[in-house]
Chain A
Amino acid sequence: MLCQFSKIGAATRGRVLENGVPYCLSVGSGYNRKAVSNKPSLYRGLPSDVRFASSLPTQAQVVICGAGVVGNSIAYHLTREGWTDVVVLDQNEIGSGTSHSGSGVLGLFKPSSERQIVTYSVNLIKTLQEQGHNLGFKQCGSLNLAQTRDRAVALKRRLAYTKPSGLECEWLDRHEIKRLHPHLYTGDLEGGVWVADDAVANPSAVCSTLAMLAQMQGAFYMEGCSVLRVITDEIPHSQIVPKVTQIVTSHGNIHCEYFVNASGMWARNLGEKSSPKVRVPAFPAEHFYLHTEKVMEALDALPVVRDYDSHTFCLTRNQEFVVGGFEKDAKPAFGSGIPSNWRETLEGDDEHFRTIREAAEHRLPVLKESQYKPLINAPDNFTPDGKWILGETPEIDNYFVAVGMNGNSLQGAGGAGQAIAEWIMYGSLSKEMLPFDVRRFVDLHNNRRYLKERTREVVGRHYDILYPGQCEYKYARKLRCSPINSEQEARGAVFGTRMGFERPLYFDITHKRGDPPAQMPEGTFGKPSFIDCVREEYHACREGVGVIDLSSFTKIEITSVGFDKYRQFDAEETKSAADSLYRSKSAGNQVVEYMQKLSCNDVNMPVGGVIHTGMLNERGGYENDCLLIRRADNRYLMLAPTTQQTRIMDWMRRQITAEACVSVSDITSMYTVLCVVGPKSKEMLSLMCNTDLNFYGHMAKEINIAYASGVIVLSFTQVGEPGYTLLIPSEYTLHIYSQLMKIGHDYGIRNVGMMTMRALRVEKFIPFWAEELDSTVTPYEAGRGYKVKLNKEYFIGKFALMRQANQGISKRLVHFTLEDTFDPDEDTWPWGGEPIYRNNIYVGNTTSTAFGFTLNKMVCLGWVKHTDGRVMSPDYILGNSRFEIDIGGRRVAAKASLQPPKMPVVKKDGFASYRPKSRGIVA
């Protein structure tokens, strides 16, 4: 039997169903269907009572830790698809964790990536209820209130991009709100959004029902059983990612193929019980609910009320009003670990909850007359960015995580469970889950102190107005800094953080040296007040010279290691000769082979060459968008986006086979990246070094600058302007920076921040990772087909791209400029995510936007899909079609283009181009 199991264990992960069992997304049809497994199950045919034996099985295909609503949902979806060899463990009993309590609200009025998950959850619970389970589900709708004008804009923007999804929602004035919820005080409201499909359900009922159904479908549940260790297999070398093999529990060991950490508050701890440790950055915060006694007014049909500006929500259940909130300064829970009797240690903090209670009483005056039950303290897990953590961990193969439900485990559980089940069964996802990817973190995120500090503000952010690009975190800052951070601060930098890295967003021109650090002004949806700073920086880059700190970029070194697998050494050859041969040219083959497999561009360039390439998945979608520098025959240096630090390392390591002899290492901290941008950059930089800075094409040179040595200079910038990117050994950075600023003074040099970088690249139609590019879009769709070399040897995604090259594409990245009806001084700006309409039909959403200072127009990049999903020709976009972009409910005409705009080229060579300007005839 063991022998049979190991065969399964060896089966390739993520193989697609082969025997044609249709994978069915629809819930209703899946439920009673007798699942047919494509894989031999150990327990097929055994009587069902064997499955429910009290002793733990010694092996299982999937082990899920945590029988909360998320774990149960995963088990339910796996077993429904025939993967019945599932064991669910819980240290206590089913639903005994944080799934037990909770508001039970299912809110659909969310950004699209969240919405698709919640929509699935709603449909799932609805179907189950229709099938006779009592889940307390009712679609009572919700009222989302705006007290301020900015909140109204925020809600209307969301309304605009939610509407095309078909969700029933509309803007109501205060009278219409009063009609839907007669007990509300509406005198101070700007209005609100009515979402008809929002629902409430009983969280513990859903949790136990899913557990019951999963068991009926074949899952094995074991209560009172805690996981002690997660064991992984032996790996030949450190470049290979180990795989889950065995789970050590308090009730014995289970051999398994997949492990899912769905243990909620305990997930971070569980992550440490494996080797290597798994990062699960989530931290519990106290979360309060106040129930009234039964009152006449609390009719079940009343909608859920979200009073964002008071950080309060209120719903009715069982003739009671339930009040909760996402308070501004939350209380992290269990700072020193979760005690086993955690329930008893938590008490309702009436004083802490007072503001929320008072806000609720203000909104619902009827509460003032009600009797309250004691305040319930039901902690839940929050993540550093307030988004769920889902997916396979980068540290261990087949180790999945589904935690961090941020105060409402119910609404995410259905969809997240389905997604994780799909991920386990097929090895990949059909939809984009980038925002929730567990690989978006680095080690600092898992630091307990960091998490505790950050959790204080993450809770309240759920109800804050998140002004686009202007809502940086307050706590746990100044963590990862470039060497010139304090110098930048002294020069008026306003920082934002990405992957914990402090990056200057812009430099405040009113700031003087010695002033307190510059601060981001109050957020706005219109023209931000710092636009003047951005304009100055922009013009420096276009016409003079600017310096951008890109130190946060991920730097990865890829080298050949070990012996060249193709080389045979004669017996006579001594070891030292073999060593020297190893260091010789022929040792370079395997890294080139490896990089060629990963990159869609031809990266076998000469040493010193620089190339921009995409790295794709089998579907041709982007996994990475990076710059490669060939440092030696057997060594590459990769410059990848900041957010890719964990994700791309993981992805690249997974492409290394045991015999590949390639090593991938993260050297992000070794180099600082300064980008010297602008037409005057060559002249200025040539004063600092003795090297000819006229590079041929994309070449890198390692040169001395100022008094420093070993600086890698590329004649390439990320923003499409002439200039140089300097990769500086970190210890030299301060020196080179101060020299740049000193010499640059005569050239009007300016510090330039990320806002300007965005303005430059959006205007010039340069797509960026995670904004335009993700795993669902191909280079052809993004208009970067010229970076694909189909005539080179095999690379991942080649066949998908060949197919697309033949058949055409059905979506395309488009450059829009807003017509003059848009007044950038007065109107609400587009900030990304706005729906795009073509001849009045919704065709896609914008991604990044910026004001184009050269075009003097607002510029949006966005994806346009063919309305029927068919292949589109350029004519579909450029032909006789009228494009509009819906900005917070107002449609603005936009001009579409598939090419970068013709920007005037800045010429340094006045001899060829100079002509005096006419003054007109001066009499």
Chain B
Amino acid sequence: MAKAFTSFSQNVRYLTRSLEPRLLAADLGGQPRSKVTTCLFSTGRVDRTNTGYPRPRLSPQEVSAILRQNEGMVQLNSGGTGWTEQGYTSSGSYSIDSVDSNQLASNSPIEDKLASAKCLHTTGYLFGVFDGHGGPECSQVVAKRLFDYVAAALLPRKELRRVVSEWEAGNRIPVIQVYNDPSQFVTELQEIYQDSFLRYCISLLSAFDEDFSMEEVLIQAFVQLDNDMGREVVENQQSAVLEPLLRVALSGSVACVAHIDGPHLHIANTGDCGAVLGMQSQTAGSGWRALRLTRDHNWENPDEIERVLSEHPDSESEHVIADQRLLGVLMPFRAFGDFRFKWDLVTQAEIIQRYLGPEHLIRHCITPPYLTVTPEVTYHRLRPRDRFLLMGSDGLWECMSPLDTVTLVGEYMSGRQTLQPVRFPRQAITLREVASILEQRQKGLNLKPVDTNASTHLIRHALGGSDAGLDHARLSHSLTLPPEVRRFFRDDISIHVIFFDPNFLRVCPVEI
């Protein structure tokens, strides 16, 4: 589904300078313009299978190659379980076992962005799904900058002061360690962004440090980054990088960010990405339950409609939400960027009218801001039955229900377990226990998935799933849709699957 206005620039200028050509390609369009794809389409010969889809143009190997192109994987627990002779031990193990990520483009270039990072100076990990609209710029920038803002706000005052003084001395020590993203901002932007970040850190230092609240930290980081993106445009009107800055500010992005530390899971969500927790049912081994941890911020959420309407005079109510969209244009009701919905009318006149022309102003934009970036923060304490967290852009949720995704990943897990060589949990093990482990393994082998990456597995089923199981023809068809029509069939899909270590969650103490 078309998500946002498309009137803005069609020219894509790369904001990032990739160190790796492959990643650049990924940023470009999500899939290589392989000769196969194009030439197959050019034949125009339609030969249908019994499921109603054209005879597959792609071989299973080619499908897999396309699907796996953007796979990412983070392994946190150093393999193996935490068994010792005494039983479980928490040493060396962590609540997160591993993270499988993947994305599949529909837009060209892809407007989604995935991010994962470790907070370097505090405990915990950050994961994010960013779904851009009106161009990829905003989501790319937010994905690369937001975690710095969050991580800095999490720092105790003492450590933060240390970081600030290092930065001021020119030693820009990082606050996060990023996984699976070697790209960097071009130098001019980098300097502007680092300057904003330092100013943000200094402002944090002068704030009151007591009464720490995770919710406030996350909200503050979101809001501050968004403010900075707007301010950077206003302050850099003479700069050579005004154009990209403007592009970032005028495109938009929703975001869903998870902070996980041991059993503590905080989710900050702005917009219509979603996070779902996969829980194993009480009767061990069979059945899965899905727990939604986020609410969408769009017209389907009555609370959001009420909130948005309440923020504007009644006279505007006809236009504030029209055609299921904000001011008839924007689908998500909360987002980064989109400053045409946020800037006051004076700034809009000054910036948009001057650089883009009056036709780029939004109609009925009378009492801005109409859009907020403030996320909704939820907390969940992970329990031993919570086996994984699914974070996905709306491209996934349009194809599948939360329960379907959870069941798919759950079944995938039991299959994945059996892919590894059999390993017995402890030394003194009875034959009966060996038999039951082998039985479990046998069951899993039947479910053995094609993919080693859970996100790929999900995408494969999202595209090719049918009542009768995976349909290769459907999959192939979906992947070979011409770019012009592709966007009407599916949106960009981006998925993080974060697996938890139940052994850790079983024994991890409640903090005191």
- Chain B's nearest CB lies how many Å from the CB of A387? 41
Whether a CB of chain B sits under 8 angstroms from the CB of A789 is no
- With a cutoff of 8 Å between Cβ atoms, the chain A residues found around residue B105 in the complex are none
Asked if residues B509 and A539 are in contact (CB atoms below 8 Å), the reply is: yes
Residue numbers in A under 8 Å from B159 (CB-CB): 918, 920-921
Alpha-carbon distance A748/B502, docked complex (angstroms)? 11
Rounded to whole Å, the gap between the CB of A17 and the closest CB of chain B is: 58
Q: B residues within 8 A CB of A918?
A: 121-122, 155-156, 158-159
Is B34 engaged at the interface, CB distance under 8 Å to the other chain?
no
Q: Are A905 and B162 in contact (CB under 8 A)?
A: no
Q: Which residue in chain A gives the minimum CB-CB distance to B265?
A: A910
Q: State whether the Cβ of B163 lies closer than 8 Å to any Cβ in chain A.
A: yes
The interface-forming segment of A244-252, A439-447, A679-687 is: A679-687
B261 within 8 A of A: yes
Contacts of A679 in B (CB 8 A): 510
Contact call A910/B506, Cβ cutoff below 8 A: no
**A879 at interface by CB-CB < 8 Å:** no
Question: What's the minimum C-beta distance from A535 to chain B, rounded to whole angstroms?
Answer: 13
Chain B stretch 121-174: residues in CB contact (< 8 A) with chain A: 121-124, 154-156, 158-159, 162-163, 166, 173
B: interface residue count bin? 35 or more
A501 to B290, CA, bound (A): 47
A371-389 to B contact mask, C-beta < 8 Å, 1/0: 0000000000000000000
Complex contact A911–B509 (CB within 8 A)? no
Q: Which residue of B lies closest to A688 (CB)?
A: B282
Q: Is B212's CB under 8 angstroms from A915's CB? A: yes
Residues of B contacting A923 in the complex (Cβ-Cβ under 8 angstroms): 173
Contact B383 A683 (CB under 8 A): yes
Complex Cα gap A919–B215 (Å): 21
CA distance A920 to B155 in the complex (A): 9
**CA gap between A32 and B266 in the complex, in Å:** 87
- Verify if B369 is at the interface (C-beta below 8 Å from A): no
CB distance from A867 to the nearest CB of B (A): 40
Is B381 an interface residue when CB atoms closer than 8 A count as contact? yes
CB <8 Å contact, B511 and A913: yes
Nearest B-chain residue to A684, judged by Cβ: B383
- B contact residues around A512 at 8 Å (CB): 428
B124 touches A746 (CB 8 A): no
Asked if B82 CB lies within 8 Å of chain A CBs, one says no
A914 to B214, CA, bound (A): 7
B467-512 residues at the A interface, CB under 8 angstroms = 502, 505-507, 509-512
Rounded to whole angstroms, the CA-CA distance of A2 and B384 in the bound complex is 80
A307 within 8 A of B: no
Selected from B123, B163, B510, the residue in CB contact (under 8 A) with A906 is: B510
Q: Which of these, A680, A747, A906, A911, contacts B215 with CB under 8 Å?
A: A911
Closest to B385 in A: A746
Chain A, range 893-914, C-beta contacts under 8 Å to B: 904-908, 910-914
Taking a contact as CB atoms under 8 Å apart, the answer to whether A914 and B512 are in contact is no
Scan residues 605-658 of chain A and give those whose CB is less than 8 A from a CB of chain B: none
B264 at the interface (CB under 8 A from A): yes
**Which residue in A745, A746, A747, A917 is a CB contact (below 8 Å) of B122?**
A917
How distant is B111 from chain A, measured CB to nearest CB, in Å?
31
Interface status of A916 (Cβ within 8 A of chain B): yes
Look across to chain B and name the residue whose beta carbon is closest to the beta carbon of A908. Answer: B510
A336 to nearest B CB, angstroms?
Answer: 50
Q: Is A708 an interface residue (CB 8 A)?
A: no
Report the minimum CB–CB distance from A601 to chain B (whole Å): 31
Q: Give residues 538-557 of A contacting B (CB, 8 Å).
A: 539, 542-544
Asked whether any CB of chain A lies closer than 8 Å to the CB of B310, the reply is: no
Q: In whole Å, how far is A775's beta carbon from the nearest beta carbon of chain B?
A: 38
Shortest B181–chain A CB gap in Å is: 19
- Complex CA–CA separation, A908 to B381 (angstroms): 8
Which of chain B's residues have a CB closer than 8 A to the CB of A683? Answer: 383
Q: Does A509 contact B (CB under 8 A)?
A: yes
Question: A922 near B: Cβ within 8 Å?
Answer: yes
Say if the beta carbon of B120 comes within 8 Å of chain A: yes
User: Closest CB-CB distance, A745 to chain B, in whole Å?
Assistant: 7
A274 CA / B121 CA spacing, docked (Å): 80
Interface size class of A (residues with CB under 8 A): 20 to 34
Contact A509 B86 (CB under 8 A): yes
Residue of A nearest to B382 (CB): A910
A910 B264 Cβ-Cβ under 8 A: yes
Are B509 and A910 in contact, with the CB atoms below 8 A? no
Query: CA of A747 to CA of B383 in the docked complex: distance in angstroms?
Result: 8
Rounded to whole Å, the gap between the CB of A683 and the closest CB of chain B is 7
Is B214 within 8 A of A922, CB to CB?
no
Closest-CB distance, A443 to chain B (whole angstroms): 43
Residues of B within 8 A of A912 (CB): 213
Q: Which residue on A lies nearest to B162, using beta carbons?
A: A921
**Cβ of A544: which chain B residues have Cβ within 8 Å of it?**
507, 509-510
Q: Is the CB of B384 within 8 A of A747?
A: yes
> Which chain A residues in 369-416 approach chain B with CB under 8 Å?
none
Query: Which A720-765 residues sit within 8 Å CB-CB of chain B?
Result: 743, 745-748
- Cβ contact within 8 Å between B384 and A911: no
0 or 1 for each of B389-413: is its CB under 8 Å from A? (1 = yes) = 0000000000000000000000000
Q: Which listed residue (A746, A907, A910, A921) contacts B173, Cβ 8 A? A: A921
Q: Shortest CB–CB separation between residue B375 and chain A, in angstroms? A: 15
Taken residue by residue from 663 to 688, chain A's Cβ proximity to chain B (1 for < 8 Å, 0 otherwise) reads as 00000000000000001100100010
Interface string of B257-279 (1 = CB under 8 A from A): 00101011010000000000000
Q: Is the CB of B214 within 8 A of A915?
A: yes
Partner of B163, one of A747, A919, A921: A921
Q: Which of B212, B264, B509 neighbours the largest number of chain A CB atoms within 10 Å of its CB?
A: B509
B321 contacts chain A at the CB level, 8 A cutoff: no
Kindly identify which residue among A680, A904, A911, A922 contacts B512, using a CB–CB cutoff of 8 Å. A904
Residues of chain A contacted by B215 (CB below 8 angstroms): 911
Contacts of A905 in B (CB 8 A): 512
Across the interface, which residues of B come within 8 angstroms of A919, CB to CB? 119-123
Would A916 and B506 count as touching, CB distance under 8 A? no
- Measured in the bound complex, the distance between the Cα atoms of B507 and A526 in whole Å is 30
How far in angstroms is the closest Cβ of chain B from A490?
Answer: 14
Nearest CB of chain A from residue B363's CB, rounded to whole Å = 41
Expressed in whole angstroms, the minimum distance between the Cβ of B166 and any Cβ of chain A is 8
Residue of B nearest to A514 (CB): B430
Q: Are B506 and A747 in contact, CB atoms less than 8 angstroms apart? A: yes
A746 contacts which chain B residues (CB < 8 A)? 383-385, 502, 505-506
Take A543-B510, A905-B512, A921-B162 as given contacts and tell me if A914 and B379 are in contact as well, using a CB distance cutoff of 8 Å. yes
> What is the CA–CA distance of A683 and B263 in the complex, to the nearest angstrom?
14
Max chain B C-beta neighbours (<10 A), residue from A904, A907, A912, A914: A914
A911 to B264, CA, bound (A): 8
Most chain-B CB neighbours within 10 Å: which of A539, A747, A911, A923?
A911
Known: A687-B282, A921-B159, A921-B162. A914 touches B122 (CB 8 A): no
Within 8 Å by CB of A748, from B259, B261, B381, B507, lies B507
Partner of A911, one of B158, B214, B263: B214
Closest to A922 in B: B120
User: Which among B163, B166, B510 has the greatest number of chain A C-beta atoms within 10 A?
Assistant: B510
Chain A residues with CB under 8 A of B502? 746
Which B residues are CB-close (under 8 A) to A917? 122-123
Q: Using Cβ atoms and an 8 Å threshold, which residues of chain A touch B154?
A: 915-916
- Could you tell me the distance between the alpha carbons of A6 and B51 in the complex, rounded to whole angstroms? 108
Minimum CB–CB distance from A372 to chain B (whole Å) comes to 58
The residue in chain A whose Cβ has the minimal distance to the Cβ of B430 is A514
Smallest CB–CB gap between B227 and chain A, Å? 24
Bound form: Cα–Cα A512–B88 in Å: 15
Per-residue 0/1 for A781-802: is the Cβ within 8 Å of any B Cβ (1 yes, 0 no)? 0000000000000000000000
CB distance from B470 to the nearest CB of A (A): 33
Residue of B nearest to A916 (CB): B122
5 A-B pairs with C-beta separation under 8 A: A512-B428, A907-B510, A910-B263, A917-B122, A918-B158
Task: Supply 5 further A-B pairs (C-beta < 8 A) apart from A743-B282, A745-B506.
Answer: A746-B383, A910-B379, A919-B120, A919-B122, A921-B163
Nearest 9 interchain pairs by C-beta: A911-B379, A746-B384, A543-B509, A916-B122, A904-B512, A922-B120, A916-B124, A916-B123, A679-B510
